[in-house]
Amino acid sequence: MLAGKQDGYGEVELKDFLRTLVGTMSATPEINAGALKELSRFLEAAHLALVRAQAKDAGLLDVSAKAATSLLRYIGEKPSTLNHKPSALIPKP
C-alpha cells in the first residue's frame, strides 16, 4: 500500500475494514485494549495513506506531501520484513 504505486482500491477497502473493526471493538474496549490501540494506529496510518494518494491524484501536491510526512510517525508500525521480497523471508541454509 505505501510502497510502490497505489491501485486506488486497496487503500479505501483497508481503511473501511479497519474502521469497521475498530468500531466493533470499541463497543467492549476492556476485552482487547491492547489490540484496539494497535488497530487504531493502523487505521490512522491507513487514513493518511489514503489522503496522500487521493491528494496526489487530485494534483494537491502540498497536501500529499504533508500526509506523506505525517505517515513517517508510523514507520515502525509494520515489521520491516514486509518491505522485502517474499524470498527474503525464507531463511538461507
Q: What is the pLDDT of residues 51-70, one digit of tens each?
A: 998 999 999 999 999 999 99
For the chain, 93 residues long, give each residue's pLDDT as a single digit of tens: 444 455 555 778 889 999 999 999 888 878 888 888 888 988 998 899 899 989 999 999 999 999 999 999 887 765 444 444 444 444 455
Q: Which among 83, 73, 65, 64 is positioned nearest to 4, based on CA atoms?
A: 83
Count of positions (residues) in the chain: 93
What is the model's pTM?
Answer: 0.68
Helix (H) or strand (E) holding 32: none
Residue 11, C-alpha cell as written in the block: 487503500
Give the pLDDT confidence score for residue 66 in this predicted structure: 94
Q: Cell numbers of 15, please?
A: 481503511
User: In percent, how much of the chain has pLDDT > 90?
Assistant: 33
